[in-house]
Amino acid sequence: MSWETLFSLTNILALGGWALLIFVPRAPLTFSAITYLGVGLLCLIYVVGLGGLLSGLIDPGGPNVPLTDYSVAGLQAAMFKNPGGTVIGWTHYLAFDLFIGMWIARDADAKGFGRIWQAPILLLTFLAGPLGLLIWLALREPAARRAQPRAKK
């Protein structure tokens, strides 16, 4: 399988998970599908791909990553100038963003936020993970406190 094909496959998996998360009723089966067929499969692709790249078993001419060089220049030169490294890095983003989206959706449901309010936050999380998460973190507690009646002393 080419890196281009794997890139397309991971995007389809992630898009399917996000579509389920945003548009389908949130039943246990829905969350299981997103968890295992979305996040889990993306994580498996990431682990196998990263292990294959680092060991040279996949794409022997691929990146030679020195595991002790965590500088920007070292990572850029070793991983992201190679198609395999780019696809594996992208898969990492897709898996974590979808996982965070699931957490936001569950948390929002538990705090009584309607789906219409969740959709833009989930969309932002899909497009720019930390931005959507930051907005959710800023909104979640104050809104939940206003919605709950105060306990009498």
pLDDT tens readout for residues 72-92: 666 666 667 788 888 999 999
Please provide the average confidence, as pLDDT, over all residues in the chain.
Answer: 87
Q: What is the DSSP string of 56-93?
A: TSS-TTS----TT--SHHHHIIIIITSHHHHHHHHHHH
pLDDT of 18 above 90 = yes
pLDDT of residue 75: 65
pLDDT of 59 above 60 = yes
pLDDT of residue 58: 80
Radius of gyration of the chain from its Cα atoms, rounded to whole angstroms = 19
Residue scoring higher pLDDT (109 or 57): 109
Tens of pLDDT along 62-77?
666 665 666 666 666 6
pLDDT of residue 63: 61
Mean pLDDT of 36-44: 97
Q: Where are the alpha helices (DSSP H) in the chain?
A: 3-23, 28-32, 41-55, 72-75, 83-110, 115-127, 129-147
Q: Where are the domains of the chain?
A: 3-146
pTM, two decimals, is 0.84
